[in-house]
Amino acid sequence: DVKVTQSSRYLVKRTGEKVFLECVQDMDHENMFWYRQDPGLGLRLIYFSYDVKMKEKGDIPEGYSVSREKKERFSLILESASTNQTSMYLCASSLTRAGDEKLFFGSGTQLSVL
Amino acid sequence: AQRVTQPEKLLSVFKGAPVELKCNYSYSGSPELFWYVQYSRQRLQLLLRHISRESIKGFTADLNKGETSFHLKKPFAQEEDSAMYYCALAIYNQGGKLIFGQGTELSVKP
């Protein structure tokens, strides 16, 4: 079974702090994604990566950055956390092959910024 | 623009009733559509994809290109179907990223 592991289930941070959300997958997937999940807004793509050291902006990249130094690990960074970044963050991975875009999700990190 | 719309935030039905969760999309290419489901306290997971033409847990979804829709249907809802459902569209030329709709919460009452 594919496993996507997010390092923290709950995080509480203060405004202005630098925050790191870590995600690791164990199935050698090329693609990795970061979404945030908000009630009424669904899942919105923040950043994704289709190869090591590659990254692409999603629909809402402002205030975020990412790092992918190794294939299995994809980190989301909030350079200076703000209260409007309080959300559930979901990491996902998938294979690249066309027609095989099934995403495997982590269990999520609920981030609260005070 | 690429977009997925789920017009219903909440759908409440009684056990045994038919259920239809609506999904409309906007995409200039050939659409590849999915339904994902999130049960309480569980991870988001794939329910079905249109290319497989499969039926999972009694759910089916038919792609209607004329109406740009991919509605999810089940003839007889069960209480265990209560969950959050997301429709998603794959964008092939952008690393296989998925664009999700806003989600519909399905509540099946006894």
Full 3-state SS string of A19-52: EEECEEECCCCCEEEEEEEECCCEEEEEEEECCC
Contact B96 A107 (CB under 8 A): no
- B6 three-class SS: coil
For residue B104, pLDDT over 90 is answered with yes
Over residues A3-39, the pLDDT tens digits come to 899 989 999 999 999 999 999 999 888 889 999 999 8
For residue B29, count CB atoms less than 10 angstroms from its CB and return exposed for 0-12, middle for 13-18, buried for 19 or more: exposed
DSSP tag of B95: T
- What residue of A is the nearest CA neighbor of B4? A42
Kindly give, in sequence order, each residue whose CB lies less than 8 Å from that of residue B105, ignoring residues fewer than 6 positions away.
Answer: B9, B10, B11, B83, B84, B85
A58: which chain B residues are within 8 Å (Cβ-Cβ)? 97
Q: What percent of chain A has pLDDT over 70?
A: 93
Q: How confident is the model at residue A1 (pLDDT cuts 50, 70, 90)?
A: low
C-alpha closest to that of A76 among A10, A32, A23, A21: A21
| Cross-chain residue pair B45–A98, CB shorter than 8 Å | no
pLDDT-based confidence at residue A53 (cuts at 50, 70, 90) = confident
Residues of chain B with C-beta less than 8 angstroms from the C-beta of A3 = none
Radius of gyration of chain A (CA): 13
Residue-wise pLDDT tens digits, B22-54? 999 999 888 889 999 999 999 999 999 887 777
Give pLDDT, residue A2.
64
Q: b/e per residue, B82-95, with b = 16+ CB within 10 A?
A: bbbbbbbbbbeeeb
B96 DSSP assignment = T
Distance CA B68, CA B19 (A): 19
CA distance B21 to chain A (A): 15
Contacts of residue A79, defined as CB under 8 A and 6 or more positions apart, other chains included, come to A18, A63, A64, A65
- Residue found under tokens 């970044």: A85
Nearest to B43 among A94, A98, A107 (CB): A107
Contact A96 B96 (CB under 8 A): yes
- Selection from B4, B27, B14 nearest residue B104 by Cα: B4
Instruction: Identify the contact set of chain B against chain A, taking CB-CB distances under 8 A.
Output: 6, 9, 32, 34, 36, 43-46, 49, 51, 86, 90, 92, 94-103
Please report the pLDDT score of residue B30 as a whole number: 83
Task: Kindly report the number of other CB atoms within 10 A of residue B80's CB atom.
Answer: 10
**What are the tens digits of pLDDT across the range B64-83?**
999 999 999 999 999 999 99
Tell which of B9, B97, B102 to mutate to test the A interface (max A CBs under 10 Å).
B97
User: Residue B95 — very low, low, confident or very high, per pLDDT cuts 50/70/90?
Assistant: low
Confidence of residue B15 (pLDDT cuts 50, 70, 90): very high
